[in-house]
């Protein structure tokens, strides 16, 4: 297989780093909102969630920049037009959610009546956006619906990757996997 038929190291590295970060964010998000309100652990997990969430936003901006300059490998010729459309729509939906979720989260903290600061990784203060408090419920609802849309899209994404590998037997999954020294 030539290099053109595989994702490059930057695309692959960002894909797997961000996949780990996003799965952690989903876990943190549902855990922290279920804890006793105002507990020190809850405060810590919220700060961690917000820090990793903003990191995802920075990484997706870099990733989209890289993606625009580097074509991904073409989809297998055996895929029909419907499947191609679904694959592209799924990928762009994931990009949109990776951009939209952190923005909605930023609006949630900026409009919260509790006015809690966000100190990214305990170092950098994320300023609040100058927005009216009335937007808080809408932002919370958007962040929550976004989380479920993300989960649903990811279930389809992972199922498609596994189908390509185990049912169709093509290289769609392996070209996103590092080869660790193999030629």
Residues near ligand HEM (CB under 6 A) are 15, 18-19, 22-23, 25-26, 29-30, 33, 49-50, 53-54, 56, 67, 72, 75, 87, 91, 94-95, 98, 101-102, 105-106, 108-109, 118, 140, 143-144, 147, 150, 154, 157-158, 161, 172-173, 175-176
Query: In degrees rounded to 5, what are phi and psi of residue 42?
Result: -65, -45
Q: Give the Cβ contact number of residue 49 at 10 Å.
A: 21
- Residue closer to ligand HEM, measured from CB, 141 or 182: 141
Q: How far is the CB of 183 from ligand HEM (least distance, A)?
A: 21
Distance CA 95, CA 91 (A): 6
Q: How far is the CB of 97 from ligand HEM (least distance, A)?
A: 7
Instruction: Give the dihedral sign, CA 29/35/36/41.
Output: negative
Q: Give the Cβ contact number of residue 124 at 10 Å.
A: 10
DSSP state for residue 23 in the 8-state scheme: H
- Residue closer to ligand HEM, measured from CB, 114 or 183: 114
């Amino acid at each position: 297989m030539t290099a053109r038929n595989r994702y490059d190291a930057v695309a692959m590295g960002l894909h797997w780093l961000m996949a780990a970060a996003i799965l952690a964010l989903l876990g943190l998000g549902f855990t922290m909102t279920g804890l006793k309100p105002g507990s020190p652990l809850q405060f810590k997990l919220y700060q961690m969630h917000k820090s990793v969430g903003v990191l995802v936003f920075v990484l997706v901006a870099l990733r989209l920049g890289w993606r625009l300059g580097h074509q991904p490998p073409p989809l297998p010729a055996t895929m029909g037009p419907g499947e191609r459309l679904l694959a592209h729509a799924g990928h762009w939906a994931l990009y949109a959610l990776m951009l939209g979720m952190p923005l909605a989260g930023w609006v949630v903290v900026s409009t919260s009546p509790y006015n809690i600061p966000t100190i990214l990784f305990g170092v950098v203060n994320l300023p609040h956006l100058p927005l009216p408090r009335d937007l808080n419920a809408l932002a919370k609802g958007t962040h929550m619906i976004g989380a479920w849309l993300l989960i649903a899209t990811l279930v389809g994404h992972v199922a498609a990757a596994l189908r390509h590998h185990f049912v169709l037997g093509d290289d769609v999954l392996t070209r996103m996997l590092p080869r660790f020294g193999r030629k």
